[in-house]
């Protein structure tokens, strides 16, 4: 099983394009008609679609904490770290995450990429 991604509007298209070239499943909120949706609606949509939400928006840290306390359940959020990491490192680590997916994974509420080495 591989994970599919749902990119919010804060993630650079070059990252999505890089993952698509690797035949990974990426859907951008803009392409899904959700370009102006609230963070909460984006998280609901990614959960509905069974996709990990990928973002640079730090507001999702608080949103995931609130959802853990109050519900409803949600898909994992992948938080892209600051811009000092190049696109290549982000693409490489998202590929690893996607290909390492299993039925038991996706339960981490918040995953930071690129991974610290």
Domain regions of the chain by residue span: 5-113
What average pLDDT does this structure show over 17-37?
Answer: 96
Lowest mean pLDDT among 67-71, 96-100, 108-112: 108-112
What average pLDDT does this structure show over 38-56?
Answer: 96
Provide the percentage of residues in the chain whose pLDDT is more than 90: 75
The pLDDT of residue 101: 73
Provide the percentage of residues in the chain whose pLDDT is more than 70: 91
What average pLDDT does this structure show over 102-115?
Answer: 73
Statement: residue 85 has pLDDT above 70 = no
- The CA–CA distances, whole Å, from 68 to 10, 11, 30, 103, 108 equal 23, 24, 27, 20, 11
The values of phi and psi at residue 52, to 5°, are -75, 135
User: Tokens at residue 42, please?
Assistant: 């984006």
Statement: residue 102 has pLDDT above 90 = no
Question: What is the three-class DSSP state of 63?
Answer: helix
User: Please, are residues 47 and 25 in contact by the beta-carbon 8 Å criterion?
Assistant: no
Of residues 81 and 92, the one with the higher pLDDT is 92
What average pLDDT does this structure show over 100-112?
Answer: 71
Please state the pTM of the whole predicted model: 0.91
């Amino acid at each position: 099983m591989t994970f599919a991604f749902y990119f919010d509007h804060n993630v650079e298209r070059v990252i999505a394009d890089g993952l698509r070239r690797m035949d990974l499943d990426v859907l951008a909120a803009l392409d899904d008609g959700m370009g102006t949706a609230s963070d909460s609606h984006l998280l609901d949509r990614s959960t509905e679609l069974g996709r990990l939400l990928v973002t640079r928006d730090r507001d999702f840290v608080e949103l995931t904490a609130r959802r853990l306390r109050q519900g409803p359940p949600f898909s994992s959020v992948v938080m892209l770290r600051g811009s000092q990491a190049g696109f290549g490192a982000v693409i490489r680590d998202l590929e690893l995450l996607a290909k390492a997916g299993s039925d038991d994974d996706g339960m981490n509420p918040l995953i930071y990429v690129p991974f610290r080495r």
